[in-house]
Chain A
Amino acid sequence: MGSLAVELFGKSLKNPVMNASGTLGYGVEIEPLWGVDTMGAYVTKGLSAAPHHGNPTPRVWEERCGMLNSIGLQNVGVDRFFSHYFPLFVERRCPIIVNFFGFSEEEYLSCARSIEPHDLIVALEMNLSCPNIKMGGISFGKEASAVHAIVRSVREVTKIPLIAKLTPEVKNLVEIARAAYEGGADGLTLINTMPAAVVDVKSRRVTLKGGLSGPLLKPVALRAVHECSQAVPIPIIGVGGIMNTEDALAFLMAGASAVQVGTATFVDPFAMPKIIAGLDSWLGASGLAGISAIVGAAHG
């Protein structure tokens, strides 16, 4: 039998499947159905140095083949996550990736600084889609120079491996990926949700502006993974519209070393365990020694 285990940033994960940030609460909420240690790693809800209340409703909207969300990064703050929710992961021996954000360089730095290395912390995942309040609200992730600068600053204040999670809404994603790598990122997560809107025809108003997720994002994300994984020599975590085993395989073949599943969990709370089981049977049938052998199979 081949192994689903993958090595990421020097840590061994039992499989390459994790949740996308913000789609599995604080982890504890899924426990009545399946254990968080089913996954290769748990990715935290986006955390910040200080707690955030988030946006008023409506926060979610359904589309035919996906959904929009505008949660507004509601979170309890990084300190409370570690005092209150992290013990579950210690108990389960479940590795975690800490997703974090800020609205200024100082906020990113103070959050990153406050996280002590731990054998279960695989990496920090920087959400670079946040608006930079000091730069007129332009997202940190939009310009190569800004990405380079913020990644480099954060890189200097933590010993934990650093992943940059990039927004696809840029002129040249490969250039941004290179800037993150050159700034010192140890890996990339591709891609974040895409900016989208809903208009209510009755009231003639915008109902919601938010991030688009779900199956319609998959081809966009696959292209980003395929191109960036050949442009930078660091691991890529693929995310965007993965609904089943075949989708996950496509991302691995496109060059992702691991995948994140998000919106699918809302449709089927067992989507992740099913994908993991599906990868296992696919691997068994393939005769390969390990799932890592197919990473980047679609290159060249």
Chain B
Amino acid sequence: MDDIPGKITGNDRVTGNYRRLTVRLERSLGRVSPGQFVMVKVPDRDIFLRRPFSVYDSRGRTLTIVYRVVGKGTDALSAAVRGAPLMVLGPLGRGFTPGRGNTPIVVAGGIGYAGVRMLLKRLGDRATLFFGATGKDELCLAEDLGTTRVLASTMDGSFGFAGDVVGLLGHHLDDYLGKKPEVFACGPSGMVKSLKTLLEPVRIPCQVSVEERMACGMGLCFGCVVATRDETNPYKRACKEGPVFNLWDLLL
């Protein structure tokens, strides 16, 4: 973990309100595990706290983040120009830990793709991505995956399965049950909840990356907790014990 100054080298629209930010850091982030994140000091005076972003890619001193403009912080970030300075704290949190010999099923909803993209690169052909989008324009997000098998759903039915990504996975789940399946998911809370409902009867291993409002990003403030089944200490920090949790430990 390090707090590293950097300069924006690119901050361009990918599609809709999705953007790709590239940062040239003074030092490399070092070893980043898939699913880890960084806290970024957005170069805007009105943005007081840092913002958490999944590491989309980290190569040498170049960090890539793919984000969706959803609020004040990301809106300000979207206005940042090339050359603007920012601070990047990371890598943070605990990422995905795929089990040996399992068949990986990766489920991503919308910008949740940014949270599993490093994992997909790591897993390569072994994984299948179930990608849920609102419409076919968003599918370009997953265009750089090479030979990884991608099954897509769109809410508007403009491409692939019409409906949500958990519905799509439901149609294919039986094909995996004899193959030691392991699910890795990142997406909106509604997606995670319905994923849990879908998997409840089969109870296969599932790791899920959660999103919470954060202040410090490194376990100092206890602001970003999620409720778990642990009765003695139910609230776990998304930034420290997470952001990746065992789905079956979470109270959703």
State which residues 61-84 of A face B: CB under 8 Å.
Answer: 61-67, 69, 71, 74, 76
Known: A53-B234, A69-B223. A29 touches B49 (CB 8 A): no
Q: Which of A56, A59, A214, A270 contacts B3 (CB 8 A)?
A: A270
Residues from chain B with a CB closer than 8 A to the CB of A203 are none
- Contact residues on B (Cβ < 8 Å of other chain), bracket: 20 to 34
Known: A63-B48, A76-B233. A71 touches B222 (CB 8 A): yes
Chain A interface main SS type? loop
Q: Smallest CB–CB gap between B218 and chain A, Å? A: 6
Task: Say yes or no: B225 contacts A30, CB within 8 Å.
Answer: no
Q: Does B165 contact A (CB under 8 A)?
A: no
Residues from chain B with a CB closer than 8 A to the CB of A61 are 213
Q: Smallest CB–CB gap between A49 and chain B, Å? A: 15
Interface hit among A7-15, A20-28, A285-293: A20-28
Cβ-Cβ contact count across A and B, 8 Å cutoff: 94
Shortest Cβ distance from A70 into B: residue: B223
Bound state CA distance, A58 and B49, in angstroms? 15
Bound state CA distance, A40 and B159, in angstroms? 61
Bound state CA distance, A195 and B236, in angstroms? 25
Task: Say yes or no: B50 contacts A54, CB within 8 Å.
Answer: no
State which residues 201-217 of B face A: CB under 8 Å.
Answer: 212-216
Shortest Cβ distance from B234 into A: residue: A53
Q: Which of B41, B212, B226, B240 contacts A267 (CB 8 A)?
A: B41
Task: Say yes or no: A265 contacts B225, CB within 8 Å.
Answer: no
Task: Say yes or no: A57 contacts B221, CB within 8 Å.
Answer: no
Task: Say yes or no: A67 contacts B215, CB within 8 Å.
Answer: yes
Q: Which of B2, B47, B225 contacts A74 (CB 8 A)?
A: B225
State which residues 203-229 of A face B: CB under 8 Å.
Answer: 214
Chain B interface main SS type? loop
Bound state CA distance, A49 and B187, in angstroms? 39
Task: Say yes or no: B3 contacts A266, CB within 8 Å.
Answer: no
Q: Which of B2, B50, B87, B225 contacts A57 (CB 8 A)?
A: B225
Residues from chain A with a CB closer than 8 A to the CB of B87 are 268
Q: Which of A30, A33, A57, A71 contacts B213 (CB 8 A)?
A: A57
Shortest Cβ distance from A208 into B: residue: B213
Interface set of B (CB-CB < 8 Å, partner A): 1-3, 41, 46-50, 72-73, 87, 89, 212-216, 218-227, 232-235, 240
What are 25 contact pairs spanning A and B, CB under 8 A?
A23-B216, A25-B221, A29-B220, A30-B218, A32-B1, A33-B2, A51-B233, A54-B225, A57-B213, A57-B225, A59-B213, A59-B224, A60-B213, A60-B214, A60-B215, A62-B72, A67-B48, A67-B215, A71-B221, A76-B233, A265-B220, A266-B216, A267-B41, A269-B89, A270-B3
Interface set of A (CB-CB < 8 Å, partner B): 22-25, 29-30, 32-33, 45, 51, 53-54, 56-67, 69, 71, 74, 76, 214, 265-270
